[in-house]
Amino acid sequence: MKSSPFRGRGGLAKRIIPCLDVKDGRTVKGVNFVDLRDAGDPVELAWNYSNQGADELVFLDITATVERRKTMVELVKAVARQINIPFTIGGGINEIADADALLNAGADKISINSAAVRNPKLIDELANAFGVQFVVIAVDTRSIGDKNIVHLNGGRLPTERQTLEWILEAESRGAGEILLTSMDHDGTKGGFDNGLLKTVNDAVHIPVIASGGAGKVEHFVDVFEKTNVDAALAASVFHYGEILIPDLKRTLQGNKIEVRI
């Protein structure tokens, strides 16, 4: 069943992915999607993470401006010149032309979130235009009552979509990967939402990236052991040097979790 070429099962190494939220050309980080503070120059951070042994990077543009596309294209070009690991770019991609500009500038994958929920056919269009492996669907989820609900606009706007149902639709339309952020856990450093992640990972046939809640090395061990997701993403623990990627990978390896050293 789990035979997708993108699936990280069957002995493929687990991936460690720093995430850089970019606002006005700087990397920022908040708690539960608010209270942003500066975390440095995104190109310098990218270079540093590439040298540390990160497997991939994700850049999310969280600034809504008319100038966005030009700014992000320049950032992608600058990053592509500095690093030799794959990176994904997201934020403000609403049509084929947006994705085309970023992929042509050097991004390896594009990530869409709100635009996909508002116009699910966009997933089909992107997958048909560029290939499934280029399309990452980012899902921001928060529990409301006993349901996990998809949120838009940087987590500010709840939708009527239930998280698992939406992820399964996204997969059926051509999503190549799911970046799942638990907003209840985001920035709290209390650990990943392993229950939700396991439910989703068991239900889909494409890679799942865990996001939201990393605070210490043990949280990465837990998420891989308890959910078998393909990748784990974090931001502040990497940006502020609380966890160094070489140390993290050695610990994972020591716990018999396969990683690229």
Quick count: other Cβ atoms within 10 Å of Cβ 69? 18
Catalytic residue flag (residue 21): yes
- The SS3 of residue 229 is coil
Counting Cα atoms < 13 Å in the Cβ hemisphere of 96 gives 9
Closest to 136 measured CA to CA, from 256, 15, 12 = 15
Q: Is residue 120 within 8 Å of residue 169, measured between CB atoms? A: yes
Decide the pairing of beta strands 177-182 and 135-144: parallel
Catalytic residue flag (residue 140): yes
Active-site pick, 21, 55, 98, 108: 21
How far is it, in rounded angstroms, from Cα 241 to Cα 50? 15
Tokens, residue 232: 């784990």
- To 5 degrees, how large is the angle CA 124–CA 129–CA 134? 80
How far is it, in rounded angstroms, from Cα 201 to Cα 185? 18
How far is it, in rounded angstroms, from Cα 67 to Cα 5? 37
Quick count: other Cβ atoms within 10 Å of Cβ 55? 19
Active-site pick, 55, 98, 108, 140: 140
How far is it, in rounded angstroms, from Cα 127 to Cα 174? 5
Give me the active site residues, please.
21, 140
